[in-house]
Structures are given as structure tokens and as C-alpha cells.
Structure 1
Amino acid sequence: MTALASGGDRAADLDAARLLLSRLGLTPADLLDTTPARPPAPTFAAYVPVVSAAVSKGTRGTYEPYWNYAVQAWADRPLDTITPSEIKQLGEHIRSHVIHRRNARGGTGAVENFVGALRCLYRHAEDDKLLDPAANPAARVAKPRRQESLRYALPPDRLAEINHTAATTGNDPELDALIIRLHTETACRRQGALGLRPQDLDREQCLVQLREKGSTTRWQPVSPTLMGHLLHHAESRHAVEPHRQLLRYHSGQPITTRRYDHLWHRIGLHLPWARTQGISTHWLRHTTLTWVERHYGPAIARGYAGHLSHTSNNTPTIALYTKATLQEIAAALATLTGEPHPLAPRSNR
């Protein structure tokens, strides 16, 4: 049995250990820290392009302007050197320099998107093991409270004025009338219309496949009349490749969001009330979904809108069990347009 070390021997051992640690440039605390060393945090200029390439096109389009703000302000600073106060300061700078439109709401939306953009950036840094979650400054900055939307459902006479103006003015009224009808029937967002391809048209069942917010994909009923116009548009505008964009100019060039900007600017010139209220494509979505909710209830309105059926703090659990069917959505569309639809129950045809 080994004899216990005497007090003198123990003191000598400790002195020897301290001498060895000193020569190695270590302290006793270093021996207790078993956490693997993280690589140095990247700078904003280096890391923003990495995240930009990793997210979806829709997310990139929303957040890229705000990532650019961060790069302009903190290009050479590592991610882990930014404080929550600095994020708030830059957010207020963005608020004060936001472009003031007629439907502007004091820059609240811009600040909300800025905080969301930084949270996205820092979440990727956490996932890449470049940042300790406890050191994430964006997680400690609250988003501004979202204000209630100023949009509302347009009355039938105002909607008729918009349709008439789109179809009788401008350099391509056929295209503009098609855009307005597509959004009115489907309540789709601009992203869904711009992403529409010839292969997304099911002519037999009068369905279009929409790819929208959050990388969601769904089949949406359209009237036989609208399907006919979409097919004619694809043929006459040389949208012959099934996987290419459907909506095009006479030249065959695909349209972009600029077509929407020009369309609503022109409508505003002819309809002063539309310019004053800042009417846009999203108002058409509000109009259609309000009509569907009033006549067919919340479940079918959610399905018509393409909202996900998962629950949140504001969504009752019953929403999981009351998902609208494609046939019910087609029935609502048939009533809305006054046209029979192949998928609608016979009583609605």
C-alpha cells in the first residue's frame, strides 16, 4: 500500500506543477476550461455574402437591403463585437431615412425587417458554430410592435374602376388586365404571379400552381375564362419553355416587379382616390379573401389564401382539423366569378 505523501512532498509537487504551467504559458483556470476554441467571428463584409447565398430568393430580396445597411456601418467589424444598443441605433437611423410613401407608417416596417435580417444573419452564425448563442446581440433586440394594416376590401365599384383603367390605358392593356384578374381570382402575391410558368397550368382541372412566401407551393383554382387567357398569353408571348416565366411583354421578355410599379402609378394618375390611399396589388388580396371569409368562413379563407395550417399563438388548434379542400376553394371561386368550375360540387356549377 502506497504511503501518503508528506506535507513537504505535496508542496514540492505543487511548486513543480506551477513551474511547468508557467513555462507552458498556462494558468490553472486554463485546465478547467474544456470548451473547444471557436474560430474568430467573421466580419459583416465577409459573412453577409455567405448567408445571402444560403437563403431563398424571397428571403434574400427582403433582407438584402438591410444587410447592406449593416455592411456599410460595420463592414470590418466581427459579428461578436456588435452590441444590442448599436443595433437599435442603426435601426433608428434606417427609420429616419426610410422613403416616405403615401402608405408609409413611420418606418416601423423598415425597422422590423432590419431586426429580422440581423436575426437571420446571427442564426446562421450560430448554426455554423461561429458564435455562442448567448453572445447573439440581435436576439436581445425586440422588433417594433406591428401596426394594424391600413388595407381593406375594396367595394365592387372601386374594383371595377381599377379593372377598367388597367384594360383601357397604358402600352399593354392586355397584359395589365390579365395581371389584375389573376390576382383578383387567386388572391396570390406578386411573387406567386411572377413565378408562374407554363408547366404550372393544369388546363383540364383549371388549376395554377403558385409558389409564394416561405417557399410554399399550392394548387389554386382559376376560372375557365382566366385559364383560357393564361394559355393564350403563353402562346402569343412566346412563353414556350415549360419551366420559364409565363407573364411576358410582347417582345417575349419576362416582366418584373417594375411592371407592377408602372401599373399602379398609371392607375393612380387616372383614379385619384387610388393614388391617395396608396392602392396596390396586395389590396386585391385583401378584397378577395375578405369576400371568401364573409361567404364561406375562416377555414376556406385560410385555404384560399394559402396560409399554412400549423398553429401559432394566435391560431386555434381547431385549424389543424378544419383544412379547406380544393373542391371547397373551387366552389368559392365559382361563386365569386359566376363561372362553373370543374372541381366545384355540382350544386355550385
Structure 2
Amino acid sequence: MTGGVAPPSGLDVETVRLLLARLGISAEDLLAGATQKVVPTFDEYIDTIETAVPAGTRRAYLTYWRRVRAHWGQRRLDEPTATEIKQIVESTRSAAVVRSNSRSGRSAAEHMIAALRCLYRHAIDDGLLPESANPALRVPKPRRLESTRRALTDAQLTQIAGVVCATGNDPELDTLLMRLHIETACRRGGALALRPIDLDVEQCLIRLREKGETVRWQLVSPTLMQHLIEHSRQRGGTPAEQLLRYRNGQPITRRRYDYIWQRVGQHLPWVASQGVSTHWLRHTTLTWVERSLGYAIARAFAGHTGRSDAGTTSTYVKADIHEVATATAALTGEPHPLSNSGS
């Protein structure tokens, strides 16, 4: 007998192709399946990616990955369905801490979806799952509501500064923090990452390393520069270590900001009820710069790249460092060595 398997007909091939399409499987997925790695559990894989992501990503998602481990720790990554992801998202939303400025757990739900998408994206990049096997992409994020943050009035800013300067266990540190954020509109992460080697004393510039691993130079007044230098000299640390420190030489953390705003909220009830935070200072400064000196200078002052704001016009409307220096001089009432008006 010669026997053998007859070659597939055109109809057979078309039937298989339609079946694969219905299942969401590509030919590449079938080829990869022969060599695909063993899919790890959530416990195993989260241990791996915790050390592979940037510090900012880890800080943002670690709480949510821990919640995933509590629910699915021993399950494989390819087991949960989109419906199960919706369930854990809703569980996270309902368990969110209720604060005065809470929005029904929308932020917690958004962060949980983002944390799972990050996890699955790494698993796909590692060849553990096919491109089509990302159930987190099939769960939409909650629509973002407009921010309730706004610029503070001069009177409100004066009230806050008065409490910060007159209360607490280290008014000198807190006053320096307030001035740094008001004068530069920097983000909290940028202030915490500041090092003595990031100070350009001659040109009154500080190097900020902020979210998205961005690095930029921001202008400061001569007075603020001197305070930063003196703070570093008095409180220790090497040139490459964190600049902002407690009296005992230990570097401050984000908890210092929590302490400041809780304290201010105790003295000014409107601060607590509205959830005023350090980011409100950024809104305040940038609003003043925009109203006083225009959008282009405010955009440069903020360190925005223009990739996602204000459309195509932002590609052409740019302010240079000398114009930003002039804005700093106007804001602080001190001449700046790089301003157009001279020193």
C-alpha cells in the first residue's frame, strides 16, 4: 500500500483560517507556541518586573500589584479573563480610601487597569504570552474628569505660607520647600531628586529630574540659590546625594509633604476640605506666568514638551531660556543673570 495523507484542499485551508480568526489566533502565534515559555504565576512574575521597571512606575503600581497578588497570586498570567479583570477593578474602586476630594474611586480603578496593562505588556515582550492575549486591553479605563485643582489667590497663598513658616517641627525646611515649589513650579518628584551637583550657582539654574525620566534646567532667583546652598552645607550629604534633608541629615521623603499639608489643613479648614496639595502651587505659578507673560513662556516654564498640548501651534511657539529668566525675575522681584533685562 502506498497510502498517505491527502494534501489539504482550498476549502480545508479556508476553514482553518476562519477558525483561527474566530479564536483570535494568528499563524505567528502557532509558530511561537512550539517554543513558548511556561507561563508564570502572578506571584512569580510580579517579583520579576518589580525590579525591572523605573522607580516611578514601581511606586505608582506596587500597591495595585500587591492587590493582584492577594487575589490571583497562584494563578497563571493567561488565566484571568476580561470579566475577571473588570471584577478586580470594581473591587479596587469600592475599596478606595474616601477623602474630601475623592471621585468614587475612579483614580484607583484607572491605576489598577494601568498596572495590569503594564504587567501584561512586559509578559508579551518576554515572549510569555502572544500579542493577542492581553485581557487588560479589553477593559476600558474610566473617563478622566476635569481636575479640581486651580490657582490659589494671593490671599490664600499668603495664608498657607504663614502657617508653614510659623508651625511644625522644622519651619526652615518647610519654608524652603514652599519657596522652591512656588518659584519654580516644579513637581514633588523633581524637588526630592534634587542634588547639590544639580545646582549651577553662576547662572542660577537647577537641574530637575521629573516624571517620565525627563531632565531639564529650571531658573531660580539668586536668593533661592543661596538658601539651597546653605541648606546643603548645614545638613550634610555628598554632592551626588539628595539635597533636601532633615536636621539629623536624613533625606526627606514624600511623607514630609503629607505632614505639611495635614498641618496646614488643621489651621486652614478650606485647605483640608478642598484637598489642596503641592500640585496646586504649580497651578498657581504657571497661571500667573501665563496671564502675565503669555502661553509660550508658561509652557517653557512648566517644562512641557508640547507633544500633547495645544496642538500644532505649540511646535512653533517656543520661549527661550532668556525669556523664562525674565519671567523668573518678574515673579521673584529679583534680577536674574540670564534675563533679557540683564543682571
**TM-score, length of structure 1 as denominator length:** 0.88
- Aligned partner of 2:327 in structure 1 is 332
By how many angstroms is 1:320 displaced? 2.2
Structure 1: tracts of 5 or more residues without a match: 1-8, 18-28
Structure 1 residues 169-202: Cα deviation after superposition (integer angstroms, max 9, x where no partner): 1111010000001010111111111111000111
By how many angstroms is 1:315 displaced? 4.0
- Aligned partner of 2:153 in structure 1 is 155
Q: 1:151 touches 1:283 (CA, 8 Å); kept in 2?
A: yes
> Does 1:246 pair with 2:243?
yes
Q: SS state of the match for residue 206, structure 2?
A: strand
> Does 1:196 pair with 2:186?
no
- Aligned partner of 2:282 in structure 1 is 285
Q: SS state of the match for residue 78, structure 2?
A: helix
- Aligned partner of 1:181 in structure 2 is 179
CA distance in 1, matches of 2:248, 2:60: 29
Larger radius of gyration: 1
Q: 1:309 touches 1:323 (CA, 8 Å); kept in 2?
A: no
- Aligned partner of 1:14 in structure 2 is 4
CA distance in 1, matches of 2:187, 2:167: 23
Matches within 5 A, 1:132-171: 132-171=130-169
Q: SS state of the match for residue 210, structure 1?
A: strand
- Aligned partner of 1:323 in structure 2 is 318
CA distance in 2, matches of 1:109, 1:331: 38
Q: SS state of the match for residue 299, structure 1?
A: helix
Structure 1 residues 305-333: Cα deviation after superposition (integer angstroms, max 9, x where no partner): 112232x4x54123223233221211111
CA distance in 2, matches of 1:75, 1:65: 14
Structure 1 residues 67-91: Cα deviation after superposition (integer angstroms, max 9, x where no partner): 1111111101111111111111111
Structure 1 stretches of at least 4 aligned residues deviating more than 6 Å after TM superposition? none
> Does 1:341 pair with 2:336?
yes
Over 3 Å counting, the alpha-carbon distance change for 1:16 and 1:200 in structure 2 is closer
- Aligned partner of 1:76 in structure 2 is 74
CA distance in 2, matches of 1:232, 1:101: 38
Aligned residue identity for 1:68: R
Q: 1:264 touches 1:279 (CA, 8 Å); kept in 2?
A: yes
CA distance in 2, matches of 1:214, 1:296: 27
Matches within 5 A, 1:20-169: 34-35=31-32, 36-169=34-167
Over 3 Å counting, the alpha-carbon distance change for 1:204 and 1:84 in structure 2 is same
By how many angstroms is 1:257 displaced? 1.0
Q: SS state of the match for residue 81, structure 1?
A: coil
Aligned match for 1:271, one of 268, 281, 290: 268
Q: 2:326 touches 2:341 (CA, 8 Å); kept in 1?
A: no
CA distance in 2, matches of 1:78, 1:319: 46
Q: 2:149 touches 2:280 (CA, 8 Å); kept in 1?
A: yes
CA distance in 1, matches of 2:303, 2:31: 49
- Determine what percentage of the aligned residue pairs are the same residue: 54
Q: 1:91 touches 1:114 (CA, 8 Å); kept in 2?
A: yes
Q: 2:191 touches 2:208 (CA, 8 Å); kept in 1?
A: yes
Aligned residue identity for 1:98: A
Q: SS state of the match for residue 135, structure 1?
A: coil
CA distance in 2, matches of 1:15, 1:237: 82
Aligned residue identity for 2:314: A
By how many angstroms is 1:34 displaced? 4.2
Aligned residue identity for 1:173: P
Structure 1 residues 248-301: Cα deviation after superposition (integer angstroms, max 9, x where no partner): 111111111111111111111111111121111111011011111212222222
- Aligned partner of 1:26 in structure 2 is none
Over 3 Å counting, the alpha-carbon distance change for 1:161 and 1:136 in structure 2 is same
**TM-score, length of structure 2 as denominator length:** 0.90
CA distance in 1, matches of 2:121, 2:130: 10
- Aligned partner of 1:22 in structure 2 is none
- Aligned partner of 1:214 in structure 2 is 212
Q: 1:299 touches 1:322 (CA, 8 Å); kept in 2?
A: yes
CA distance in 2, matches of 1:292, 1:334: 11
Aligned residue identity for 1:209: R
CA distance in 1, matches of 2:110, 2:31: 39
- Aligned partner of 2:12 in structure 1 is none
Q: 1:331 touches 1:341 (CA, 8 Å); kept in 2?
A: yes
